Amino acid sequence: MSFLDMHCHVLPRIDDGAKDLDTARELLRLQQSQGASAVVATPHFYAERVDLNAYRQKAISRFEQLQEVAVNEGLPELFLGFEVLFFRDMAASGVLPELSMGKSHFLLVELPYGCALTDAIADELIAIRLDCGLTPILAHLERYASQQGFDRILSVIREGYAEAQCNAASLLHWNSRRVGLKLLEQGYLRYLASDAHSLVHRPPKLEEAYAVIEKRCGKRVVNRLQENSLALYAALRQAQTPIQSN
């Protein structure tokens, strides 16, 4: 089964991801060789460091450049999104629709690392869902498991206000594998993604991660993750389609 890789830093020369167009092309080739038929490019967005319009224009320009290569060379279908680092009052900021994945109602959100996950953060995620009509997808949820307040974040997912994604690399290291597999078995992780940054530092390892999941959780869980990614793909495709008037 093919699948969508919904989180990676494949766009060239915009964040700490692909350093040039050749690297971006090679990353797409690797993702394709591991089974990805489509990819969401998700450069980091730090609200306090960049100007939204300028950054978004830069991302669109890089995206169009890479998309042309992908189409010409038969590489995975590309969508543009952003990995949005949590910021205060983000739901009320008015900018989130500009940062959603491929104009859909899904928003990739990176929680703050190394600090308490406060009730205010959980409430903000709920506000994104209820007030903005966007579904937050929490990037690499497994990374936050030891942080204070993690249980409250899990309750936000259980209650249907957010979804979550696991990094492939997390399942390949002994120190993060256990928590990743536990969250997967408990049903908190809806997507697996590469979060690839380069050919050397955090390359895409989707095939290896799916093999670990199959061995530890069974083929059924692999199928579920890939089907979830394809449902997201369908939503992205639908969001690209102009609405027809009767």
Chain residues binding Fe ion by CB under 5 A are 83, 195
- Closer residue to Fe ion in complex, CB, 6/122: 6
**Rounded to the nearest whole angstrom, what is the least distance from the CB of residue 7 to Fe ion in the complex?**
6
How far apart are alpha carbons 128 and 203 in whole angstroms? 31
**Rounded to the nearest whole angstrom, what is the least distance from the CB of residue 199 to Fe ion in the complex?**
16
- Closer residue to Fe ion in complex, CB, 111/184: 111
- Closer residue to Fe ion in complex, CB, 25/197: 197
Q: How far is CA 147 from CA 119, 142, 223, in A?
A: 13, 10, 30
- Closer residue to Fe ion in complex, CB, 163/195: 195
Name the residue whose CB lies closest to Fe ion.
195
**Rounded to the nearest whole angstrom, what is the least distance from the CB of residue 220 to Fe ion in the complex?**
27
- Closer residue to Fe ion in complex, CB, 83/124: 83
Contacts of 49 (CB under 8 A, 6+ apart): none
Residue 11: both structure tokens together:
């766009």
- Closer residue to Fe ion in complex, CB, 58/216: 58
Neighbours of 73 (CB within 10 A): 11
**Rounded to the nearest whole angstrom, what is the least distance from the CB of residue 195 to Fe ion in the complex?**
4
Beta bridge partners of residue 41, listed in sequence order: 8, 80
**Rounded to the nearest whole angstrom, what is the least distance from the CB of residue 166 to Fe ion in the complex?**
12
**Nearest 10 degrees: Cα torsion 50, 54, 55, 60:** 170
SS3 of the chain: helix, strand, coil, percent, to 5: 50, 15, 35
**Rounded to the nearest whole angstrom, what is the least distance from the CB of residue 109 to Fe ion in the complex?**
11
- Closer residue to Fe ion in complex, CB, 142/195: 195
**Rounded to the nearest whole angstrom, what is the least distance from the CB of residue 219 to Fe ion in the complex?**
27
36-41: strand order across its sheet: 3-8, 36-41, 77-80
